[in-house]
Structure 1
Amino acid sequence: MRGKIDLDFEISKDVYTRHRALFIYRPTIEMSGEYTCKVSTLENEVSLSSNMIVYTPPTQVLLTHTHTGYRQVNISCYVDHAFPRPVVRLYHGQGNSKLQKRGVHQVTDRYRDGAWQVLVYIVLDDSSLHVENLFQCELELPGTKYRLVRSTVYTPGFPSMLARANNGRNVHQSSNLNLFSILSICLISVFKL
């Protein structure tokens, strides 16, 4: 910690409380941990410990859907360079029908600086999905108030399935929905670049 703390810092002018806080120059994630403050007088000694987390919000969070087979989709949430290790959950639906997906796979990796990279994904059959499906990726950094949600809407890409799922909606209308989904994905991709 040498060179990282301003030893002359005073939080107030009160002689009894002016040194009750530390001023840390450029905190880094390596500085996370338990800190103890000890106060000694001629008559008594008191100490108090507390946990400090220096967190790094992710540099990138992507929620994507990709066809993996004839009638399957891979829903993936990718979180890059976050600290501490993020908790990432996938949800399907909204409101009262919003459910956390079970059977989700997770792959993690750690950077040299201690930050984390997390990929959470699940492969679903189109036949198990609705005509329009809201998926959400929720992430949190434990021990902090940092929360982030990304959402995407997936429409199964096979017009005959859409027509069957819509009970009477014709294939031409379903094809237009599919084309709209593809155009939306392309526009989103272009704006992210």
Structure 2
Amino acid sequence: MLSIVHTVSPSIITLLIFACYSEVHGTSIKSLDMPHIVRNGTGPVDLICIYEIDKDDNGLVIKWFHEAYQIYQWIPPMLPQDIGIIKDFAEYPAENLKNPYSHSIIRLKTITIDMTGEYMCTISTFQYEASASAKMIVYVPESDMTVRTYPFNKTHVNLTCAVTGAQPRPSLRLYVEGIERNESSESSIDWHKDDPRVSLDVIIEDMLDPTVIECEMLIPDTEYKRRERIVYYPSSNRSNATDNIAFETNNFFVI
């Protein structure tokens, strides 16, 4: 008796496996569209979860989470329910409610600092579940920023930059005539949620000529920054540090 052996190439096997996997896992999240950086107090802002539901799936449930805490649930045809940080801030566009099997839109009327963090959208049916996550940073501009100088001893002067109100916690840099100075530096933090304060002190040798001193503040993971400038005038009598300073500003920020 003759025997016939059929050989199937690895590429065909891989293709068949991929085809089966794609068909079985037809329910998936296509994208999670939301801003990465938002200024506190602005709005409205849309959080959009776009997904695809397999035609044979049923029992759809859409949930949103913020830092692992559930903030939203939608079981069509019932209306969405929101809790936690978005309670009383969320609304739902009519086009969203008309088509629950393609996307979920949370429209936040006003952004608050509590809304910063990681968001996750999950969709589940009786058959499958999928999820996607993205991070949104909510920042607060400073309420006050000052640069000052104080005598440290007979040969050195203390440069101080202090920022109040900025969130998340900003980083500070001090420059003397455009050159960053960080020798003998010390940072201090008085971090209260309602009125946070960060300062940077640098001790340098006293200057003989009028000198431009700048402080740069940057809020991490954002493009927001600001600079404050003073002109320091040395004096043989430094009992009052403010007598030796001419204040200027060179403030700018990118949003």
TM range (shorter): 0.5 to 0.7
Task: Provide the rounded CA distance (Å) in 2 between the counterparts of 1:79 and 1:61.
Answer: 4
* Root-mean-square deviation (Å): 3.2
Among 205, 213, 217, the residue aligned to 1:125: 205
Q: Deviations over 1:15-64 (max 9, x none)?
A: 48985542224332222111012244677543221111211111001011
| 1:102 pairs with 2:183 | yes
Mapping of residues 58-97 of structure 1, within 5 Å = 58-94=142-178
Q: CA deviation at 1:73?
A: 2.0
TM-superposed CA distance for 1:77, in Å, is 0.3
Q: Note if contact 2:185-2:202 (Cα within 8 Å) is conserved in structure 1.
A: yes
SS at match of 1:145: coil
Pair 1:22-2:103 in alignment = no
Contact 2:233 2:244 in 1 (8 A): no
- Distance in 1, matches of 2:174 and 2:183, equals 9
Structure-2 change in CA distance of 1:103 and 1:38 (3 Å): same
Q: Which of 139, 142, 162 pairs up with 2:220?
A: 142
Gaps in structure 1 of 5+ consecutive residues: 160-180, 189-193
Partners of 1:117 and 1:73 in 2: how far apart? Answer: 22
- Structure 2: state its 5+ residue gaps: 1-83, 238-242, 249-255
Aligned residues: 159
1:119 aligned partner, one-letter code: S
TM-score, normalised to structure 2's length?
0.52
Match of 2:121 in 1: 37
Q: Measured at CA, do residues 14 and 144 of structure 1 come closer, stay the same or move farther in structure 2, by a change above 3 Å?
A: farther
Contact kept in structure 1, 2:92 and 2:105, CA below 8 Å: no
Secondary structure (helix, strand or coil) at the match of 1:148 reads strand
State how far apart, in whole Å, the 2-side matches of 1:133 and 1:30 are.
41
Moved more, 2-11 or 134-143: 2-11
Matching residue of 2:133? 49
**Change beyond 3 A, Cα 1:62–1:183:** closer
SS of equivalent to 1:77: strand
Specify the SS of the correspondent of 2:139.
Answer: coil
Task: Give the number of the structure whose residues are more often strand, by fraction.
Answer: 2
TM-score computed with the length of structure 1 as normaliser: 0.66
- SS at 1:90 equivalent: strand
Aligned-residue identity in percent: 26
More helix by share: 1
Cα distance in 1 for residues equivalent to 2:209 and 2:236:
10
Show the counterpart of 2:246: 184
